[in-house]
Structure 1
Amino acid sequence: MHRSMVLVALVALSASSLPQVNAYGKYIKLLPNGGDIPDNDNIGHLNAAGTAGVSVFGKAFKAAGNSWNTALCQADTDGDGFTNGQEMGDPCCTWTPTSTASLVTEGLSDPNDASKKPSNAALIAGCSASGKSATTSGSKETINDVLAPVSATSAPAAAGTPTDDDEDDSSESAVKTAASGAAAVSAASAVIVGAVAAFFAM
């Protein structure tokens, strides 16, 4: 009886830690430079593992329906005088997950930290009168618009695009492979291995 309870607890622990890592990879696709903000591996949460709660930007993202839209882009979630778009590389609020041509990738800053400001001149200047400006309606692409359901009957991926094998690896461009996701999985794996060893030692 005792062994079966330990086994059930191990299965529950491993199952509860994996969806969090998967969700992170899905959300970074919905944000400009979502996985590349300096000094912050997980801008939606208070820590890189996503276990210490939701950040001020994460709350704003959730309130925006988990989508990057003009209102979220033009907001200044950390109150530092720069819009979220300026801090994340989309000063004119024109970026979408399917249209990345206007994205600035250097000199970004964290939209959760007022002490960190963009260092790229184009981001500091914001959206100039000569640049493209965003409409007030903005684009509202949600996670369902960007990520198609995966099923056994789905068509093969287009040439040049890696297939999704349900494994998060570096060949899939939308997957965050930084230490935060790997650390969470490694920690859960270490706990499981230790518990299984203890289980069989009884």
Structure 2
Amino acid sequence: MINIRTEDIIKKGKPVFVKKGEMIYQIGEQIHTFYYIQKGFVKIAMDSFDGRTTTISLIGPSEFFGYLDSLKGQIEYTKYAAALTDSILYAFPLELLEDEMIRGTMILDSIVQELTKAEQLNIALSTMTVPERLRWLLLKLAKKKEGRMVIEMPLTHEEMANYLGCSRQKISNFMSKWQKAGGLLNKDGILVIVDEEKLLQ
């Protein structure tokens, strides 16, 4: 649910419709805009010199993105953003960040949220095994819906691997194992966590 403060900010933005897989901004592109997600999911990522993709953040409805590089003094994006689904965004001119009301509400809340997500990911990558990381990600993404834990963000096994720092094959192996064990259900591309305990096997 959008709170009143966010609604006030959204009125200053321009709606943008992006298709699944479409780039929202690219590395090296000059920063003129930041965004809010009304509907859909977006990933923030970068590619290494050897061609491997590292997903930095997974972002969903009611979240802002595209402003962190500017706050660090950059004039160009150092990562790229791509839509994971057909999405509805609101685009805002970067100058809007000079507004004290916006800096004091949206920016502070959003930065705290991003720092928390980054810290959790760092802990997962440094202390957990691959199956533990995958279980952590699935539980983090799951939302309770009609009494069931549902994951609506449509991540491929490759995208999960890019986020969790492991191979796609390992992700596929554990996902298959957990589905056979009855811990996971894939219903029309939407994952449902049926039994958390079976994700420990």
Which TM-score band applies after superposition, normalised by the shorter structure?
under 0.3
**Structure with bigger gyration radius:** 1
Greater relative CO (CA pairs within 8 A, separation 6+): 1
TM-score of the pair, normalised by structure 2: 0.25
